Structures are given as structure tokens and as C-alpha cells.
Structure 1
């Protein structure tokens, strides 16, 4: 493989959600997480679901008829100001669970309205 060929970045992460959950997802991802909803291409919009972005991060929520949230799989979302970000989520009624098991990072977990597990982490600059 030459230097110009290979993976460059993660373009987006797709999560599943149950039919009819779009309004709750919009409230969570735009309100609690502070993301912006982005338009789906018209050919994909007919399938339901919704897409969100914050800077280079994109999360696509697709509708799955027989939806069951994954218990272990999740996106890991890098944040800045993790303590303040956790407080923001809690102010929106989101339950968070802190986890100190990743050396060199501060992190917590939360769930979206569909039950998808989300990890939020920030390098711990005090872990030197």
C-alpha cells in the first residue's frame, strides 16, 4: 500500500433507533448534546431517522423495525470540559455514570432516548 492509500478518518457512526423515536432523538442530540441536525439526502430521508453533527463528528440515527439497543457497542465521543459537559447532560435529565477504568482519561457513559450507550471521554491532563 502506498502512502496515499488508506483510512483517513471516521466519516460517521451509525446508531439504530426504534420507529417513531425521531422527536425524542432530536431533543436529546440537539438539546442535551448540543449537536446540530443535518439534512439527510432526499433518497435516504424516506427511511426515517435523523443525522447530527458537531464539528467533524457525525452521528446518524437510522430506524430499525426490530430495534434492540446494543449493551456493549458504543461510540466514544471526545469532549472538552468533561465535568461541565456532564453537568450539561444532567441538567437535561440525562443519567450519567462515571468510569475511571481508562488510564489517562476522564470518562462517563450515558444513554440516548433509544437506549444506545454513549461514551464521553477527555484526556486527563493531570494524569502525568
Structure 2
């Protein structure tokens, strides 16, 4: 029986952890979590998002701009997040409308597709 979602993982290029932290921790305000000692040598970092984790791993040779795979962050004030991202020169893409939600998409500095979504 599947009980729930434990974590999701995205990837950034090897050696891009400082830039990743700048975007995910400073711009998006997500707190970094301590990785277990046994995994620290692999690079990357972990984030806490509500009651779940997002693991930011590292890998090279991936064109992240070519995939529809994405992570969606549920937010309270989607207009605030649009403004924050635009102020940080992140291009916003409007999403196909779905009932009872406002949402938009963007690519993080590494090409990962990200969605912001707010229930209305």
C-alpha cells in the first residue's frame, strides 16, 4: 500500500549548488535541510516544502528544457510569486487553465520546469 509522497527530486548541474541555493533558498525562501552524512558526498542539497522534502541532486548531460516533467508548489498568493519571479528576471509562462485553480509555469535557472498553483 502506498501511504503518501515522501519526497520529489529535481536535478541541477554538478557544481551548481551555490547558484541552486541562491535561487531555491534566497528567491523562493525554501529552507535547506541537513542531508544525512552518508549522502553528503553526492553533492546537491535538500529543501523542506511544507511537510515534504525536495531533493536537489546533481547530474550533467541533461537538457532540462526539453522535458514536461515538473514540480508544482502550492501557494497562497500566486500574484506575489509572479511578481517575485519577474523581479528576479524569471520568464513566466501562463498554464492551460484548470477549474478552481490559478497557476503559471517557469523554468528555474537550470531549465527545470516549475509550476506555481493556487486553489481559488
Q: Please indicate, yes or no, whether the TM-score normalized by the shorter chain is above 0.5.
A: yes
What CA distance in whole angstroms lies between the structure 2 residues aligned with 1:39 and 1:103? 38
Matched, 1:38 2:6: no
Matched, 1:12 2:7: yes
Q: 1:123 matched to which residue of 2?
A: 119
Gaps of 5+ in 1: 1-5
Runs of 4+ in 1 over 3 A off after TM superposition: none
Question: CA offset at residue 50 of structure 1?
Answer: 1.1
Matched, 1:66 2:61: yes
Q: Taking structure 2 as the reference length, what is the TM-score of the superposition?
A: 0.89
| Equivalence map 1:41-56=2 (5 Å) | 41-56=36-51
Per mean C-alpha deviation after superposition, the further-off stretch among 59-68 and 15-24 is 59-68
Matched, 1:82 2:93: no
Q: 1:23 matched to which residue of 2?
A: 18
Question: What is the Cα-based RMSD across aligned positions, in Å?
Answer: 1.5
Secondary structure of the residue aligned to 1:46 is helix
Larger radius of gyration: 1
- 2:87 corresponds, among 69, 86, 91, to 91
Gaps of 5+ in 2: none
What CA distance in whole angstroms lies between the structure 2 residues aligned with 1:51 and 1:76? 16
Question: CA offset at residue 100 of structure 1?
Answer: 4.3
Secondary structure of the residue aligned to 1:53 is strand
Secondary structure of the residue aligned to 1:59 is strand
